[in-house]
Structure 1
Amino acid sequence: MAGFLARRLIGYVVLVAVATSMAYLLAAAALNPRANYAERMPRPPETAVDAQLAAYNLNDKEPLATRYLTWAAGVLHGDFGRAWNGSSVNEDLGRRAGVTLRLVVAGLLLGAIAGVAVGACAAVGQYGWFDRLSTVASFGVLAVPTVVLANMLIIGAVWFNELTGVKIFLVSGESTPGVDSTLDRLQHLALPTLTLALSMAAVFSRYQRNMLLDVLGSDFVRTARAKGLTRRTAYTRHALRVALIPVVTYFAFTFGALLVGTTITETIFGWYGLGHQLVASIRTNDVNTVAAISCLAALALLVAAIAADLLQAALDPRVRTT
């Protein structure tokens, strides 16, 4: 088991290094930080712009390889450099990463748990009323764009607040200015989390249903029933356990994609996280911030992949012997 995890970890670290390096090289080659100074009135002298860009390792007149080596040396020491306006990339993303992680972790966990439960129940009762109802609901959610789903939830939350006379759901921002309480953060977290969770639950329920249907007719499930196990015990201890293995892998890669893929949700609900900052950084030609967000996404995927390997080892005894 230790050898298996060590080999996977080494591979993941190499992939993170390659992905982060490629992200920086592409951003440095495609983006033009110099354009931010050209729009200023009065326009600063070119020598002053060169000096400013060089101080932030953004001067396109220097060789790309030189800029990359300078950036990589800083990353190895935990420093992602400066944005085009001189602000610290580390300080900005440190706050934004917490915002996005809080949203993504809550939405993904809730969606995955609900989706697996719905998919398992639908597979066990194939072609029953619950299976048909969950299928219609899942495809209905998947057919609705995120922006529409989010606004539907906002309208429903406003209506519910007016009906009850109490502001249970708060629809804008990650917290109320001047209010620092767990309850207030949860009230702001509810709607964006539900937006992500509904989409994730729809995907996971379809995936889990198909995986479980492939397993229910297997020989080992029939053998378990023949040995005297009840239908429920055979399905939960044996069939569901095997069907969860590919779902765990899918969970890991979904987490990495969501980390920077929540741009629409963050924008609608006023959450200024990594997704929102990634779009803003591309618009302002902020090379170091784009590369830093790509690195954080790769690291998040690494952590999720390791967690998936551990869960896979817990579900599949064969992995623990490799």
Structure 2
Amino acid sequence: MNYAALIVVASSLAWLLAAVTLDPRANYAGRTPAPPVAVVDAALSEVNLNDHDPLLDRYLTWVSGLARGDFGRTWDGLSVGADLADRAGVTLRLVTAGLVVGALLGLTVGTLAAVHHRRWFDRLSGGLVFMLLAVPTVVLANVLILGTVWFNDATGARFLMVSGETGAGGPFDRLRHLVLPALTLALPLAAVFSRYQRNAMLDVLNADYVRTARAKGLPRRTVIVRHALRTALIPTTTYLTFTFGALLVGSTVTETVFGWHGLGQRLITAIQTSDVNTVAGITAVAAVALLLSAVAADALQRVLNPGRAR
């Protein structure tokens, strides 16, 4: 019940802010011939976006619809819920791929950097991490695109695609379109995850129970994997799960650069067209995703450290 209240509060604040600052009426400006004010008012009132109607009445209409699972309609009369449902699948596919690759790469690099603390791998990975973190997402995306275009031209084959979600092919064609945007998300995530994992592993490797396991004569690999790694994963997985919720909407730059029609790209167009209901709907989706991430983080902590469940 508390989660439902938090979703309503977050969505309501987003709707109120959008309703006050955005101007859906501007979508009718500049048309030739100019539509009469009464016609514009009627069209906006029909979708609950008329700024001449009382704000409280518009909010109550919107929130009553939200309680029934109705996100309202866009400024041009389309269903917000249906639009977001289609786009959520696109974003979910991209974010899942990016997060899985980024997490596996980051956790592996971070663990190895901690095990080889202050050796060449630790120093090399640290330099690469800071370089990745210093590069803006839009720059990284365009570097990957330029590199792929050069590779395709040099080989005479289009192994990877640089734009769009899919072509006329099947699953393999989807994969070719997915690789570059997924890497754009995955590489910065891997950089962050590796730092979290490295620091967590360094703390655990110096713990008393790890030294005791070593003193008992257990193999080094067993001590690292069964004793140190499992405990070090607890704080990292918490960050990982919350990152998944945030990325559902936070992938705006990646979706825009690669021409993916997901939630992030839709948020940008919704702001540009002053689509109040869509902005609020995407905020509601983001709130749900973050709350589900919190539940998942709690469950993972119980799995990785059953003693805390008690």
Q: TM-score range by the shorter chain?
A: over 0.9
Aligned amino acid, residue 125 of structure 2 = S
2:258 is aligned with 1:269: yes
The counterpart of 1:298, out of the listed 253, 269, 287, is: 287
Distance 2:272 2:153 in 1: 39
Aligned amino acid, residue 80 of structure 2 = V
Aligned amino acid, residue 116 of structure 1 = L
Mapped contact 1:225–1:231 kept (Cα < 8 A): yes
| TM-score (norm: length of structure 2) | 0.95
| C-alpha deviation, 1:99, in angstroms | 1.1
Mapped contact 1:153–1:191 kept (Cα < 8 A): yes
The counterpart of 1:255, out of the listed 208, 227, 244, is: 244
The counterpart of 2:135, out of the listed 108, 129, 144, is: 144
- Corresponding residue number in structure 2 for 1:5: none
The counterpart of 2:107, out of the listed 109, 112, 116, is: 116
- Corresponding residue number in structure 2 for 1:90: 81
2:110 is aligned with 1:106: no
1:211-267 Cα deviation digits (max 9, x unpaired): 111221111211222233222212211221111111111112212221112121111
Quick check: 106-115 or 61-70, which moved more? Answer: 61-70
Aligned amino acid, residue 257 of structure 2 = I
- Corresponding residue number in structure 2 for 1:230: 219
User: Where do 5+ consecutive residues of structure 1 fail to align?
Assistant: 1-9
Aligned amino acid, residue 139 of structure 1 = F
| C-alpha deviation, 1:180, in angstroms | 4.1
| TM-score (norm: length of structure 1) | 0.92
- Corresponding residue number in structure 2 for 1:7: none
Distance 1:65 1:306 in 2: 33
- Corresponding residue number in structure 1 for 2:31: 40
Mapped contact 2:242–2:297 kept (Cα < 8 A): no
- Corresponding residue number in structure 1 for 2:54: 63
| C-alpha deviation, 1:11, in angstroms | 4.1
Mapped contact 2:242–2:294 kept (Cα < 8 A): yes
- Corresponding residue number in structure 2 for 1:156: 147
- Corresponding residue number in structure 2 for 1:6: none
Distance 2:28 2:157 in 1: 49
Mapped contact 1:170–1:187 kept (Cα < 8 A): yes
Quick check: 310-319 or 181-190, which moved more? Answer: 310-319
Q: Over the residues paired in the alignment, what is the CA RMSD in angstroms?
A: 1.5
2:272 is aligned with 1:283: yes
Aligned amino acid, residue 18 of structure 2 = A
Q: How many residues align?
A: 310
Distance 1:18 1:243 in 2: 35
Aligned amino acid, residue 4 of structure 2 = V
Distance 2:302 2:11 in 1: 28
| C-alpha deviation, 1:138, in angstroms | 0.9
Distance 1:219 1:190 in 2: 43
- Corresponding residue number in structure 1 for 2:117: 126
- Corresponding residue number in structure 1 for 2:158: 167
Distance 1:165 1:309 in 2: 49
Distance 1:240 1:39 in 2: 62
Mapped contact 1:13–1:302 kept (Cα < 8 A): no
User: Where do 5+ consecutive residues of structure 2 fail to align?
Assistant: none
SS, match of residue 48 in structure 2: coil
Aligned amino acid, residue 221 of structure 1 = V
Distance 1:12 1:75 in 2: 15
SS, match of residue 309 in structure 1: helix
Distance 2:45 2:30 in 1: 19
